[in-house]
Amino acid sequence: MVLASAVASAVPHFLAKKMELASAVPHFLKEKTILITGASGFIAKVFVEKVLRVEPNVKKLYLLIRAPNNDSATQRLHNEVIGKDLFRVLRDKWGANFGSFISKKVIAIAGDISCENLGLRDDHLRREMMEEIDYIINTAATTTFDERYDIAMAINSMGAIHVSNFAKKCCKIKLLVHVSTAYVCGEIEKEEQVVLEKPFEMGETLKGITSKLDIEVENKLLKEKIDQLQSHNADEEAIKNAMKDFGTERAKLHGWPNTYVFTKAMGEMLFVQELKNNVPLIVIRPTMVTSTFKQPFPGWIEGLRTLDTLIAAYAKGRLNCFLGHPSTILDVIPVDIVVNCMIVAMVAHSNQFSTNFIYNVATSSRNPFRASDLQYFCYNYFTKKPWINEFGKPVIVIKKVTTLTSMAKFRRYMMIRYVLPLKVLNLASRILGKHYKDVYKDNKRKLKTVFRVVELYRPYALFKGIFNDSNTKNLEKNYSKLGMDDDDEFNFDPKSIDWKDYMMNAHVSGLMKYVIKVS
């Protein structure tokens, strides 16, 4: 069986040039050399594990890791990547030979995509990589919503130029895969507005003709802002806060809700511009990425992701209200489904230039998961499996939360429940002395933090769009023609997710095992 016309027809433009590909996706990776940037990140780890598990005959994986030197990068590789429980299936498979297998296949490289030549200092190694690399997977990013503008710009935006320039010097390169985010679309306030798999034009903004985006100007303004702060002898804390505020200001000026998605959008623009007619490019746009669905086992996760901050707060009895309508679609996607789509898209696009190169990896269109589902599953999970103390008694009494369907209702709720009592406490502190003053300051700080976090997450809690995934669906359809079922290693069909089973038996339990600690 040949994976040629079937995969080629996934995107009509591929018909101009027939692809000659192996009959099974894993064999496609055989004897290939792949560079993965941002290798200590969540998606990158799952990608690395997947490749090593399904195709042990991959030639080499270069993992670019931020570190002062290659020895430190290797140490981070073993502590932050290979040492994770994610690799236990692979570790069990190889047994005593696991270490030697990894050392032969995986090379940790100290580098940084915010620098020219990816920050590689060893000229010999750099030339060797440029001669060997078949594919580049760019997952490097800072994902903090209100990141400092200078840091977010350097990694998420200008990093695209450095990765592209490096790719153009790789003599064997067949494809560059850039992992972005579906939320580069910005805020969607119109009910069920469809978000298309459409690339940005250079200079395009989300405010149409009312604003113009010039990335060179953004860099210039950024430098001027830092120079101004330094000329006024601002300390590091003041510069950090000013850079955060400046990033948010510039993002909102052009129609994006935060610095993260704004700089990621600019990164997409730069990749398209830099690689046009030079290196084939695909852009993977996942939605809110969650724990593994099935591979290598259900429920592996690292860190609190967008949705998980709510689950963690609820588990600890600290979530009294929920911002969002019960029918709001929370577009979440398991990380292994994202990685499966990435690999199959690599097969389809290898050496192929295409106008259809954006893939929304999402669930809202074909298998929506709603806010009411999240509340229901969390309530049932923590009712059945509450934290218990040494006496076998529940530590947290789980209760249903108040749903607030708009920011106006949220502010009203907070005013009655927290702001007014805080004002009373302030009055008491003036009369009764230092103890109450300290309590007032602490509660004021906590309340300020809550409002800041809610404002950051508001665009997603009240998001009303639906992500079109036609390209992804076509890719999945043509892949399924190979006769693979839903349990196949490379399944990325969102309809295969049973939300109750996944949330109750994989995701929430995974959070409890790997992330959420009793405190």
Can you give the pTM of this predicted structure?
Answer: 0.91
Crossing angle of the two packed helices 98-105 and 42-54, in degrees rounded to 10: 110
pLDDT tens figures, 32-52 = 999 999 999 999 999 999 999
Structure token pair of residue 7: 């995969």
**What does R_g of the chain's alpha carbons equal in angstroms?**
24
Residue at token pair 């690399």: 133
- Rounded CA separation 451/82 (Å): 38
Query: Quick check: 160 and 133 in contact, CB under 8 A?
Result: no
CA distance 395 to 412: 30
| Lowest-confidence region among 167-181, 389-403, 461-475, 494-508 | 389-403
18 vs 78, residue with greater confidence? 78
What is the DSSP code string of 333-344? EEHHHHHHHHHH
User: Phi first, then psi: what are they for 186, rounded to 5°?
Assistant: 80, -165
**Cα 286–Cα 287–Cα 291 angle in degrees, nearest 5:** 85
Q: Which of 264, 314, 473, 479 is catalytic?
A: 264
Tokens in use for 488? 């196949």
Under DSSP, is residue 446 helix (H, G, I), strand (E, B) or coil?
helix
Q: Which one of the listed residues 62, 149, 183, 260 is annotated catalytic?
A: 260
Tell me the C-alpha distance between 207 and 359, whole Å.
Answer: 23
Which tokens hold the place of 283?
A: 């852009």
Write the DSSP string, 406-427.
SHHHHHHHHIIIIIHHHHHHHH
- Residue 322, SS3? strand
pLDDT band at 449 (very low <50, low <70, confident <90, very high): confident
Strands (E), 95-164: 106-110, 135-138
3-state secondary structure 355-366: CCCEEEECCCCC
Is the pLDDT assigned to residue 70 strictly greater than 70?
yes
Is residue 457 part of the annotated active site? The answer reads no
> Phi then psi for 206, rounded to 5 degrees?
-85, 5
Q: Of the candidates 375, 364, 376, 399, which has an alpha carbon nearest to the alpha carbon of residue 324?
A: 375
Give the length of the chain. Answer: 519
Evaluate whether 491 touches 340 at the Cβ level (below 8 Å).
Answer: yes
pLDDT score for 317: 83
Predicted local distance difference test score (pLDDT) of residue 395: 77
224: tokens are 């001027």
- Among residues of the chain, what percentage have pLDDT more than 70? 93
Task: Give the residue from 182, 138, 197 showing the smallest Cα distance to 473.
Answer: 197
Catalytic annotation on 260?
yes
Mean residue pLDDT of the chain comes to: 90
Instruction: Give the β-pairing of 281-286 and 135-138.
Output: unpaired
In this prediction, residue 480 has a pLDDT band, given cuts at 50, 70 and 90, of low
